[in-house]
Amino acid sequence: MSLKQTDNEIYGLLEKEFQYQRNTLRLIASENYASKAVMEATGSVLTNKYAEGYPNKRYYAGNQYVDQVEITAIERARKLFRVGHANVQPHSGSSANIAAFFSFLEVGDKFMGLDLPHGGHLSHGSPVNFSGKWFNAVSYGVSKETEALDYDEIRKRAIQEKPKLIICGYTAYPLLIDFKAFREICDEVGAVMMADISHIAGLIAGEAYPSPAPYADVITTTTHKTLRGPRGAIIMGPEENAKKINKGVFPGTQGGPLENVIAAKAVCFHEAMQPEFRVYAAQVVKNAKALAEELAARGLRLVSGRTESHLVLVDLTPKGITGKGAQMALEESGIITNRNTIPFDTRSPFITSGLRLGTAAVTTRGMKESDMEEIASGIVKVLESPNDSELKLRTRKEVEELCNRFPVY
């Protein structure tokens, strides 16, 4: 029986979500629209299969096709990211990071990551997360003046703290990361270099952002952000770290892999190898730059001064509105964003002074620089009059018109 026949309640909600995704502007930097092919693989018969272990070394019988799927995913990931080894089993970015930590650290070991309010991820040492509870997490920040990474400061901090592992790769950092500088710092203090490219993986695959592959000991990434695949993650590294990485995932931190999602990851890697994906990645960055410039021209302050990626972080202070207020007013206008702390934020993470925007999803719809100008104009109008219901209704109509010009699915 179809979903509609079996469970009309969930079917109805999915139908509503589908229309909502079509008719709103999705500017959440970590979101995208996966292809129909990716979703078809995710919803496939592989949902039914147990495959604990790795290809040709399974703990269950009946994996002849499953093995071919997983091997294909591994080979494609290795080729796409130019790495010696890929593990395609992690269920999510956080699971990948747990596994990577278990591969290279003992519980209680010291590691260093970017402070959460400065753009780090929860799993990079936040005290409320496994990373901060089970490990001795110390942090580095961005420079107060430039709001950019200061590699001399990071080096000094690393020499002081002597962490066993250093993470680079972030969740709200708009600039390029100097992966070579991190390699040099790690070599100097004898630390493992871990790059978490969750946000920028699609840009790296499309050669619109430098790759940590020549430098990092271990690379983790989600597959559902700029990479535009299914919700999930992978871990990569040089061939010599293959055993360690695999053990960290299974049996270290996971049981049976989600082979349906692994099939979808393989499809996503195939799509990302096509020439069109390179054009896409370049356009994502062009659109982010256009959006940033227009927002700045209309009076918002860009954190770090500019963007060099898919992501724009704005300081709302000049407009006298909080991140929470901005997120809500924009949501009512059909513009979906998320509030975000900015470095040295004086407000709590629940309120925040910043708003994070990303262009991965709108670029998948086919939008270009001129559309970003239109979007920036709409955003700023709402931020200047967040209580004007008529304006929000009007903006919502305009958003729907824009979305209709760039249909998805």
Ligand X SMILES: *Cc1c(COP(=O)(O)O)cnc(C)c1O
Residue in 110, 231, 347, 381 annotated catalytic: 231
Q: How far is the CB of 372 from ligand X (least distance, A)?
A: 22
User: Judged by CB, which is closer to ligand X: 53, or 169?
Assistant: 169
Helices (H), 113-213: 130-134, 151-161, 179-189, 201-205
The one catalytic residue in 196, 294, 315, 371 is 196
Active-site position among 11, 50, 59, 151: 50
* Residue 121 or 228 having the CB closest to ligand X: 121
Rounded least distance, CB 4 to ligand X, Å? 29
Neighbour count for residue 59 (Cβ, 10 Å) = 14
Task: Establish whether 196 is a catalytic residue.
Answer: yes
* Residue ranges that bind ligand X, judged by CB under 6 A: 30, 92-94, 97, 121, 123, 169-171, 196, 198-199, 222, 233
Q: Which is nearer to ligand X, 30 or 352 (CB)?
A: 30
Q: Scan for tokens 């082979």, then name that residue.
A: 259
Per the listing, tokens 């990851």 go with 265
Q: Measured at CB, which residue is nearest to ligand X? A: 93
User: CA quadruple 26, 32, 35, 39: dihedral positive or negative?
Assistant: negative
d(CA 210, CA 217): 16
CB of 177 to ligand X, least distance (A): 11
Q: Is 50 a catalytic residue?
A: yes
Q: What is the DSSP string of 12-27?
A: HHHHHHHHHHHHSEE-
> Nearest approach, Cβ of 93 to ligand X (angstroms)?
2
Nearest residue (CB) to ligand X, 229 versus 386: 229
CA distance linking residue 2 with residue 211, whole number of Å:
43
Is residue 222 among the annotated active site residues?
Answer: yes
Min CB(338)–ligand X separation in Å? 12
Q: Is 24 annotated as catalytic?
A: no
Burial code (b: 16+ CB inside 10 Å, e: under 16) for 91-126 equals bbbbbbbbbbbbbbbeeebebbbbbbbbbbbbbbbb
Counting beta carbons within 10 angstroms of the beta carbon of residue 222, is it exposed (0 to 12), middle (13 to 18) or buried (19 or more)? buried
Q: Whole-angstrom Cα distance, residue 88 to residue 151?
A: 32
Burial 8-25 (b: 16+ CB within 10 A, else e): eeeeeeeeeeeeebbbbb
Q: How far is the CB of 97 from ligand X (least distance, A)?
A: 6
User: Which of the following is catalytic: 26, 76, 157, 225?
Assistant: 225
The CB-of-183 to ligand X minimum distance in angstroms stands at 19
- Going by the DSSP 8-state scheme, the letter that residue 302 receives in this structure is E
Q: Closest CB to ligand X among 123 and 304?
A: 123
Among residues 42, 221, 222, 337, which one is catalytic?
222
DSSP-assigned states of every residue in 73-119: HHHHHHHHHT-SEEE---SSHHHHHHHHHHHH--TT-EEEEE-GGGT
Q: State how far the Cα of 392 lies from the Cα of 329, in Å rounded to an integer.
A: 7
103 or 171: whose CB is closer to ligand X?
171
Q: Residue 126 or residue 171: which is nearer to ligand X going by CB?
A: 171
> Following DSSP, what letter does each residue of 378-399 receive, concatenated?
HHHHHHHSTT-HHHHHHHHHHH
Q: Are 70 and 51 in contact (CB under 8 A)?
A: yes
Task: List residues with catalytic annotation.
Answer: 50, 52, 196, 222, 225, 231
